[in-house]
Amino acid sequence: MANKDKWETIIGLEIHSELNTKSKLFSAAPNRFGDEPNTNITEVCTGMPGALPVLNKEAVRKAVQLGCALEAEVAKFSKFDRKSYFYPDSPRNFQITQFDQPIILGGHVVAEVEGEEKTFEIDRVHLEDDAGMLKHFSGFAGVDYNRAGVPLVEIVSKPCIHSPKEAVAYAMAIKAILQYLDASDCNMEEGSLRFDANISVRLKGEKGFRNKAEIKNMNSFSNMQLALESEIKRQIKLYEDNPDTDPNELMGQATYRWDPDRKETVLMRRKEHADDYRYFPEPDLVPIVLTDAYIEEIRSSLPELPLQRERRYVSELQLAPDAAFVLTSDKPLADYFEEALKICHRPRQMCNWLIVEFAGRFKDTGTHLTTSGIPAEHVGKLVQMIDAGKITGRIAKSVADDMVASPGKDPELIVAENPDYQPMDDNEALEGIVDKVLSEHAQSVEDFRNGKDKAFSFLVGQIMKATRGKASPETVNQMLKAKISQ
């Protein structure tokens, strides 16, 4: 039986994010996803002889914005290198990347993990161009170079992540920053945000690192968590089942792929010897030289960042920090939240409706509240109706179901059209129900009088049940208190 407490996990994440520039990193070809194959290409994207790369200034600007947002050092001198490997998706058979002098050095992000604020250190961020994509047909394969040359930033964390939950929180925080900067579409399904993890375990107190596994193909946060959890279990089991074998022999350096169907990591290739990419400076490009004024101008014009927004929500709107983190980590959702607050300024309730109630209703549907067609105004109205006592919380949940079923339908209309959703404002009828419940549960009344608070809640519950949730809990409370204390 694995003793998890004996082990600690070390994770480093490499996040590749496609920058949403108008054109590609080294050519004027459009940077656009989903078009017909090989339509967004120039002679640079296909590696034609005689073609030369010219650096896209917008990509540099976005990388510098990211560096400033990560509170990292923006290198005033950085350069590009050629990384050689042969594959048909690589049009020149070398990638243009930044090897030893990246544009961004260091930096950190703050993320909430289980109610605790944690700081994660970043090693570096560099610019590079994306490869094309292979498409397999029966009997042959083709290459689509539309993606070839799309600008990427690779954000490399230090090995400072110690659990799958931390990894997810870190990745969410990075994604949020990219979204807030409008630097990337961060669309994981389209591959504009991709994660690779390096993961190893060691006994607590052990010095140095054991061999690590590299895991690819974790294309969602939930997959990342599952993949890392599964890999940790696999590694611990391997070491515990073979206590007398040299750990380095047990665990060779290897690359794995997460298989979401089998829910396990699958070996892609072993790395007996390190790949030799023969890096050397790209002679077709001049180094990137940035002035203090340029960096300062970008730093001073940064938009509000997720952490600032989270802190604002905690201090000004009294949200709980973990709720504020979840909300602000999703920029469209946080924007949606602020829209909804304009209708009804009940921040804590509104936040709960967004990150618990509606999030739950959209889970595993492939869509999100912000893209569902339900306007923020409608969620605002829903909370407003609860707040004004027009509907009870219980009815509100049903109204929310209906809103999800018919996106765009005004919740006020939903309530007006459904007799079951009418609040019970007939106090005489309610009084009858209260009296009936009291007479049927005399023992509970007695218990309450003897100081058992639970008995009161029980009675409220019985009354709500009898009114099918339509009575205002406040009115029920008042009426019940008045009757019992008579």
Partner 1 sequence: MHQLSAIELRDKFLNKEVSALQIVDYFLKRIDSYDGQIGAFLTVYHDQAREHAKKLDDKLAKGEPLGKLAGIPIAIKDNIHVKGELSTCASQFLTNFKAPFDSTVVKLLKAEDAVIIGKTNLDEFAMGSSTENSSVQLTRNPWNLTCAPGGSSGGSAAAVAARLVPLALGSDTGGSIRQPASLCGVVGYKPTYGRVSRFGLVAFGSSLDQIGPFATNTADAALVMEVIGGHCDRDSTSIPHKRETYLEKFDKTLEGTTIGVPFEFLKDLKGDSKQAFEQSLETFKEKGASIVEVDLSTLKYSIAVYYILATAEASTNLARFDGVRYGIRAPDAETLDQVYDRSKEIGFGHEVKRRIMLGTFVLSTGYQDAYYKKAQKVRTLMIEQYKKAFETCDLIAMPVATSGAFKIGSKKDPLEMYLEDIYTISINLAGLPAVSVPNGFTSHSLPLGLQLIGPQKEDVRVLSMAHAFESETSFNKLPPQFED
Q: Residues in the site for partner 1, rule: CB under 8 A? A: 43, 46-55, 82, 84, 86, 88, 91-94, 143, 274, 276, 278-280, 283-286
CA distance 55 to 24: 9
Query: Residues 6 or more apart from 98 whose CB is under 8 A from it?
Result: 78, 79, 80, 81, 126, 127, 128
Rounded to a whole number of angstroms, the minimum distance from the CB of residue 43 to partner 1 is: 6
Nearer to partner 1 among residue 12 and residue 53 (C-beta): 53
Q: How far is the CB of 281 from partner 1 (least distance, A)?
A: 8
Q: How far is the CB of 88 from partner 1 (least distance, A)?
A: 5
How far apart, in whole angstroms, are the C-alpha atoms of residue 249 and residue 422?
70
Beta bridge partners of 267: 256
Please, what is the minimum distance in Å from the beta carbon of residue 30 to partner 1? 17
Rounded to a whole number of angstroms, the minimum distance from the CB of residue 203 to partner 1 is: 32
Contact, 192 vs 34, CB < 8 A? no
Least separation in angstroms between residue 56's CB and partner 1 is 11
Tell me whether residue 55 or residue 460 sits nearer to partner 1 (CB atom).
Answer: 55
DSSP letters of 14-63? EEEEE---SB-SSSSSB--SSSSTT-S--TTTTT-TT------HHHHHHH
Give bridge partners of residue 259 from the DSSP assignment. Answer: 264
User: Residue 87 in contact with residue 93, Cβ under 8 Å?
Assistant: yes
Dihedral angle sign, alpha carbons of residues 7, 155, 89, 188: positive
Tell me the closest approach of the beta carbon of residue 58 to partner 1, in angstroms: 15
Contact 61, 298 (CB under 8 A): yes
- Could you tell me which residues come within 8 angstroms of residue 276 by beta carbon, excluding any fewer than 6 positions away? none
SS3 (DSSP) at 10: strand
Decide: helix, strand or coil at residue 377.
helix
Q: At what angle do helices 164-180 and 221-241 cross, to 10 degrees?
A: 150
Q: Which is nearer to partner 1, 137 or 451 (CB)?
A: 137
Min CB(251)–partner 1 separation in Å: 23
